[in-house]
Amino acid sequence: MSEYATPSEIEAYWDRVPCGSLHPDPTWQRYFVQPHIKRFAEFWKWKNKCVLEIGCGIGTDTIQFMNSGAFLDVVDLSEKSIEITKKRVFSEASLNCPLGYFFCANAEEFLPTGWIGYDLIYSFGVLHHTPYPEKILKLAHERLDDDGQLRIMLYAKYSIKHLFRIQPEAQKGCPLVRWYSGWEARKLLWDCGFKVISIEKTHIFPWKIKDYVEHRFVKHWYYRWMPNWMFRSLERLLGHHLLLIARKS
């Protein structure tokens, strides 16, 4: 694991184990483990709006956007992830939801221009796995409507996971991971033409990895006995996720 990897190495990793694909109920699992996603994405807000999702994984958020009535374009580097997402959309998306368009592509080189300008460009947990996130953000700036929003999640540098060298993904061997301080995240977006209007740190993963990959949710003892208010305070201080909302500057 490093800050340098080729697109083919990254694609091979996510093709091998698309994020969340090993869980029998990936929708429940995603929002149980990361309940802040729904609050951050505000899926309901994008009804009849044009949304671009960069990095769909196995499509759990994709389906939420579509079922909320968004006109959606999706880009992902992993062919396997796109394949799974399409199958899930066919079986889980509402029959009367708008159609989605799916592109298997490197977002550093290609983002679709199917709409005049996107009302939302959304990327949750993706940009820190790419060699040149600034290339994606500069393309996103071109595609975003002047009144649109960028909503992204980046891994936090000053977090329990990073400080204690805990593996960032459930599956070992992730070829590229970047970590950002709040200042570094703001600068990254500013250099690409965005102004951050909201930044929040949250999410500590309390589960034992060995059990988690076997679909058992067993907390480490020190989290098991921690009061909820203390755990939430710790998340704000040393959480793993930086949630950023930005507009064009």
179: domain CATH number?
A: 3.40.50.150
Average per-residue pLDDT for the chain: 94
What is the rounded CA–CA span in Å between residue 142 and residue 62? 22
The reply to whether 71 falls in a domain is yes
The reply to whether 214 falls in a domain is no
Q: Which amino acid appears at position 127 of this protein?
A: L
The reply to whether 228 falls in a domain is no
Instruction: Kindly report, residue by residue over 125-148, the tens digit of the pLDDT.
Output: 999 999 999 999 999 999 999 999
What is the rounded CA–CA span in Å between residue 75 and residue 113? 12
What is the residue range of 197's domain? 7-204+240-248
The reply to whether 163 falls in a domain is yes
pLDDT at position 1 is 43
What is the rounded CA–CA span in Å between residue 27 and residue 175? 26
Contact yes or no for 75/111 (Cβ under 8 A): yes
The reply to whether 233 falls in a domain is no
Residue 194 host element (H or E): strand 194-202
The reply to whether 224 falls in a domain is no
Name the phi and psi angles at 206, rounded to 5: -90, 0
What is the rounded CA–CA span in Å between residue 85 and residue 106? 17
What is the rounded CA–CA span in Å between residue 54 and residue 148? 15
Q: Which amino acid appears at position 154 of this protein?
A: L
Instruction: Kindly report, residue by residue over 140-194, the tens digit of the pLDDT.
Output: 999 999 999 999 999 999 999 999 998 888 788 899 999 999 999 999 999 999 9
pLDDT at position 3 is 61
In this prediction the pTM is: 0.95
Give residue for tokens 């970047």: 178
The reply to whether 31 falls in a domain is yes
* Number of neighbours of residue 156 by Cβ within 10 angstroms: 26
pLDDT at position 173 is 87
pLDDT at position 103 is 97
CA nearest neighbour of 151 among 61, 247, 217: 247
pLDDT at position 21 is 80
The reply to whether 215 falls in a domain is no
- Which residues in the chain land under pLDDT 50? 1-2
* Number of domains the chain is built from: 1
Contact yes or no for 134/163 (Cβ under 8 A): no
What is the rounded CA–CA span in Å between residue 241 and residue 130? 17
